[in-house]
Amino acid sequence: MQTNLKTTPTDITAYMRELGMRARQSSREMARANTGQKNAALMAIADALLASRAELLSANAKDMEAGRKNGLDAALLDRLELNDERIDGMAEGLRQVATLPDPIGEIEDMKYMPSGIQLGKMRVPLGVIGIIYESRPNVTADAAALCLKSGNAAILRGGSEAFHSNQAIASCVRQGLAEAGLPAEAVQVIEITDRAAVGELITMSEYVDVIVPRGGKGLIERITDEARVPVIKHLHGVCHVYIDDKADFDKAVAVAMNAKTQRYGTCNTMETLLVAEGIAAQILPVLAEQYLAKGVELRGCEKTCAIVAEAIAATDADWDEEYLAPILSIRVVTDMDAAIDHIHAHSSGHTEAIMSEDITRARRFISEVDSSSVMINASTRFADGFEYGLGAEIGISTDKIHARGPVGLEGLTSQKYIVIGDGHIRG
Amino acid sequence: MQTNLKTTPTDITAYMRELGMRARQSSREMARANTGQKNAALMAIADALLASRAELLSANAKDMEAGRKNGLDAALLDRLELNDERIDGMAEGLRQVATLPDPIGEIEDMKYMPSGIQLGKMRVPLGVIGIIYESRPNVTADAAALCLKSGNAAILRGGSEAFHSNQAIASCVRQGLAEAGLPAEAVQVIEITDRAAVGELITMSEYVDVIVPRGGKGLIERITDEARVPVIKHLHGVCHVYIDDKADFDKAVAVAMNAKTQRYGTCNTMETLLVAEGIAAQILPVLAEQYLAKGVELRGCEKTCAIVAEAIAATDADWDEEYLAPILSIRVVTDMDAAIDHIHAHSSGHTEAIMSEDITRARRFISEVDSSSVMINASTRFADGFEYGLGAEIGISTDKIHARGPVGLEGLTSQKYIVIGDGHIRG
C-alpha cells in the first residue's frame, strides 16, 4: 500500500498522471480486445472474487471497524458491509455482464453515398473512464465489469471509508485481467484517499475521456463544477405521477402506491403526486388511507389538506425535495397543462408518469414533458437499466447530452464514421 | 440598438439572464412546434432575407468600413463580406434545411419488455443552444435554421466585427418566426459586443443546454476551459493519409493529391502524409513532383529528405501542425503499426485514411484508429456533412461524447425513453 508515501500535492499530481498514462496506454489494448477475451476476464474476476472470499471479508472488517470508530451511521455501515451473499452477488454480476452482447465494433447504417463511397458508423469505446463513487464496495466490481466489457480502461475512486475493501476487490480485478491476457492496468483503483486525487482525475483531459460520478447531490455538483472532462451525471430524482381526471381509478391507485412505496430510497421513486381537480375529491381519500397505513407522511397543497385531514401543509421547498423517504408531497392541479407546468418548474428531469385513459392527453404529455423517462399508465419505478433490458447500468443520466436515462454498456461507447472507397477522391 | 446602454457587468448579467429566460421559455414552444410550422418559418426567413437585401447590404457596408478602419486583413474582410450571391446562398441554405426530414418526435426501438411495458426512445430537442462564432455573418442564418428545424431555441453570439450584419439577419429571422406563428425569441442574437456576455452565456447552465463554438483553436480552447455548460466542439484537423506498401500505386497518388490540394484551408485536408518504407522510394518522387508543381511546400523526415531533394527537414512541431496552407509534412514509417502509433501520438482525432489493397490491414486500421472518421482508400476531404448526407452541418465534432464527426440536425437532439403501460406496477 503506497498511500502514506504519497501525500504532498506534487506527489499526488505525479501519481495521478502516471495512472492516467497507464490507463490511456491500456485503453488501446482494451479497444482491440475481442469479445472472448473480455468475457474470459469477467469470468476470471468472478472466480478470483469467490476464491478471495476470506481476504475480502478481512479487508472489509477493517473498513467496518474504522467506520464504527468514526461514527458512521447504521445506513452507511450497511452499505459498506461485505458478506457472503454480497460477494456472491458481485461474482454473479460479473457473469451477467459476460452474457451481454458486446457493443464494440458493431457497424450500423452502412450505405453507398452519391459519391460512391460507402459510409457507416462503428461503435467504439470512449477510451478512459473515471468513476467516482461512495461507500458501497460492490461498485468497484460492477463499474470495472461495465468498463471492461465496453472496451474501456477505467480509473476508479471509491469512498475512503471503503478503502481496504476496494483495494482487495481491485486485486481480484487485476488478477482476472491478467489471466485473460489483458493489461492489469486497464482497471486501476486510486490508492490515495486525499481529495486532491479527485481534483486531478477530473481535470486530466489528456488521459480521461469522461467522468461518471455516483453519489449524493453534493458530490455530483462539486464534480460537475470543477471538472474539465465531460461528466455523465446522475443527479437526483424528483419524479412525478400526474393523475388525470380521465384516469382509470384502480390503475391510478395501484401505480401511485407502487411508485411511492415499493422502495423509498431509489431515485425513480415518486416524490410528488399531482392530481387533477376533477378527480381529487374521489381518489385522494382512498390513496391517503393506503399511504397512511404504510406510514407515509403526506404534505399537501391547500386543496389537498382540505380533502385529506391527516396531510400537513407543504412548503414551497417541498416541491423540489427528493425525500428518499416515506414522505410524499401532493398537489391538486386544475388540469394537465398545470401539471406539465409544475413538472417543468420542479422536476429534476428523471422520470414522470401520467395516468389517463385519454389518448390525446397521453400523446401530449409524452411529447411535452422533457425528462429522461416519460411514462403513460406505468409506475416510475420501471425507470431502471434492468427493467429497460440494458442488463446492467452504471447510473441514470439526467443530462441531455450523450447518454440520457439508464446508462448501460452503450452509454460508455461512442461511434465513429467509417468510409470505404476504391480510390475515391472528391470532385 | 441597446448596445451602448449595457456595458457594466451587472447590466450584462441581467441582460444575459433575461435572454436566457426568454430562450428557455420559447424552447418549450419550439419543442411542440410541428414540422409544417418549422418549415414555414424557414421559408419565411428566406423570403425576409431576400426582401431585405438592401438593408443587409447597408448593414454589412458599415461592418466592412469599420473592418477596413480597424485593419482587418483581406482574408477576414472576405469572410465578413455580404453580397448578392451570398444573400441568395443564405436563403437557399434555409430552404434546403426546410427540405430535410424533421428528426423530432421520431420513435425508435419500441418493443415489449418482459414486464409487459412497451419501451421506446423518442427524439427530442436539446432545449437551448448557444452558438459562438466569428466573422462570417451567414453563420447567423445557418445556425438559426439548424436550431429551429431541430426544435431548439438558440442564443447566437457572432463576431463583433460582423455586428451590424448579424443584427440585420437576426431581424429577418425574428420576422420569419413570427410570420409562422412561432416565438420570435426562439432565436436571439446577443446585442452586446462585450466579451463578458460570452462568459455569462457559457455558464448559465439553468438556461443553456449546450454550447457550440465555431472558430479558431484559441476561441474553442478558451470556451471549453471556462464553460459550465456542455460543449460540442470542433477543435482542429490534423488529418493523416497512410500509404501502405500494399497500396495501389495510382489510387494512392490520386488520393494523396486530392486530400492535400483540393482545398488547403479546410479541417479535413491532409496535413501529414505517412508512407510505408517499402513503397516510399517509388511513390514519393512521383508525389513530390506533383505537389511541387502545385506549389506545395514539403517538410520531410530524414528518410523523406533522402528521397525528395526538394523537401526541407521537418521539425518535431511539424507533426502536430494544422497548416491550413499549401504545406505538407511527410514521414516514412516502417509499417502500418508505426503509422498507427504516429497517428495516436499526433492526430487531432478528426479524419485518417489508409491506402491499401490488403483487407486484413484495412480491417485493423479501421478498428484501431480512433478518429471521428476513419477511411479506407478514400480522400479525407469526404469527411463533411454534405458528403455524409446530413444535408447541413453545424460543425465537425472531434469530441467522443454526444456527437462525433460532422454534426447535423441529429447532433442538436437527444432521446428520451418513453414507456407505455396499462396500469403496470413493478413487482
Which residues of chain B neighbour A371 with C-beta distances below 8 Å?
416
Contact (CB<8Å) A373/B105: no
Residue B7: the pLDDT is 55
Residue A8: the pLDDT is 67
B184 inside domain: yes
For the ranges A266-275, B79-88, B323-332, B391-400, the lowest mean pLDDT is seen at B391-400
CATH number assigned to the domain comprising residue B306: 3.40.309.10
C-beta separation of B263 from B382 below 8 A: no
Note whether A213 and A244 are same-domain residues: no
Q: Can you read off the three cell numbers belonging to residue A316? A: 414551497
CATH number assigned to the domain comprising residue B203: 3.40.605.10
Q: What is the 3-class SS of A291-331, one letter each residue?
A: HHHCCCEEEECHHHHHHCCCCEECCHHHHHCCCCCCEEEEE
Instruction: Nearest chain A residue to B353 by CA: give it.
Output: A419
CA pair distance A217, A215, nearest whole angstrom:
7
Average pLDDT over residues B154-161: 95
Q: Select the residue of A126, A372, A376 nearest B417 (Cβ to Cβ).
A: A372
A401 inside domain: no
Confidence tier at A13 by pLDDT (50, 70, 90): very high
Residue B196: the pLDDT is 92
Residue B363: the pLDDT is 95
pLDDT digits (tens, 9 = 90+) for A144-161: 999 999 999 999 999 999
Q: Select the residue of A126, A262, A388 nearest B426 (Cβ to Cβ).
A: A262
Domain housing B355: 239-382
Contact (CB<8Å) B370/A119: no
B390 inside domain: no
Note whether B266 and B198 are same-domain residues: no
Average pLDDT over residues A413-424: 97
Confidence tier at B221 by pLDDT (50, 70, 90): confident
Q: Can you read off the three cell numbers belonging to residue A14? A: 505525479
What ipTM was reported for this prediction?
A: 0.92
Which residues of chain B neighbour A113 with C-beta distances below 8 Å?
387-389
A427 inside domain: no
Average pLDDT over residues A195-224: 91
A395 inside domain: no
Which residues of chain A neighbour B425 with C-beta distances below 8 Å?
254-255, 257-259, 262, 378-379, 381
Note whether B374 and B412 are same-domain residues: no
A411 inside domain: yes
Residue A216: the pLDDT is 80
Residue A6: the pLDDT is 47
Distance of residue B63 Cα from the nearest chain A Cα, in angstroms: 35
DSSP-derived letter for residue B209 is: S
Using the predicted structure, report yes or no on whether residue A78 has a pLDDT greater than 80.
yes
Distance of residue B128 Cα from the nearest chain A Cα, in angstroms: 11
For the ranges A369-373, B231-235, B311-315, the lowest mean pLDDT is seen at B231-235
Note whether B191 and B209 are same-domain residues: yes
Using the predicted structure, report yes or no on whether residue B2 has a pLDDT greater than 90.
no
Note whether A174 and A221 are same-domain residues: yes
Confidence tier at A275 by pLDDT (50, 70, 90): very high
A318 inside domain: yes
Distance of residue B174 Cα from the nearest chain A Cα, in angstroms: 24
C-beta separation of A42 from A98 below 8 A: yes
Using the predicted structure, report yes or no on whether residue A5 has a pLDDT greater than 60.
no
Q: Select the residue of B126, B367, B372 nearest A105 (Cβ to Cβ).
A: B367
Using the predicted structure, report yes or no on whether residue B151 has a pLDDT greater than 50.
yes
Q: Which residues pair with A328 in a beta bridge?
A: A298
B392 inside domain: no
Note whether B22 and B89 are same-domain residues: yes
Q: Select the residue of A367, A377, A389 nearest B113 (Cβ to Cβ).
A: A389
Note whether A218 and A310 are same-domain residues: no
pLDDT digits (tens, 9 = 90+) for A30-74: 999 999 999 999 999 999 999 999 999 999 999 999 999 999 999
Residue A217: the pLDDT is 81
Note whether B227 and B327 are same-domain residues: no
Note whether A98 and A201 are same-domain residues: yes
Residue B330: the pLDDT is 98
Note whether A150 and A292 are same-domain residues: no
Note whether B262 and B317 are same-domain residues: yes
What's the Cα-to-Cα distance from A53 to each of A83, A142, B117, B381, B385, rounded to whole Å? 9, 17, 39, 57, 54
Report which secondary-structure segment, H or E, holds B375.
strand B373-378
Give the number of domains in chain A: 2
Where does residue A8 fall: left (phi above 0), alpha (psi -120 to 50 degrees), or beta otherwise? beta
Note whether B252 and B227 are same-domain residues: no
Q: Percent of chain A, pLDDT > 90?
A: 87
Which residues of chain B neighbour A257 with C-beta distances below 8 Å?
425
C-beta separation of B170 from B139 below 8 A: no
pLDDT digits (tens, 9 = 90+) for B61-72: 999 999 999 999
pTM recorded for the entire structure: 0.91
Confidence tier at A4 by pLDDT (50, 70, 90): very low
The mean pLDDT of chain B is 94
Using the predicted structure, report yes or no on whether residue B342 has a pLDDT greater than 70.
yes
Distance of residue A168 Cα from the nearest chain B Cα, in angstroms: 32
How many C-beta atoms lie closer than 10 Å to residue B96's C-beta?
15
C-beta separation of A212 from A157 below 8 A: no
Using the predicted structure, report yes or no on whether residue B6 has a pLDDT greater than 50.
no
CA pair distance B299, B326, nearest whole angstrom:
11
Contact (CB<8Å) B126/A419: no
Residue A7: the pLDDT is 55
CA pair distance A86, A158, nearest whole angstrom:
17
Average pLDDT over residues A212-238: 87
pLDDT digits (tens, 9 = 90+) for A350-409: 999 999 999 999 999 999 999 999 999 999 999 999 999 998 888 899 888 899 999 999
Q: Select the residue of B115, B404, B415 nearest A404 (Cβ to Cβ).
A: B415
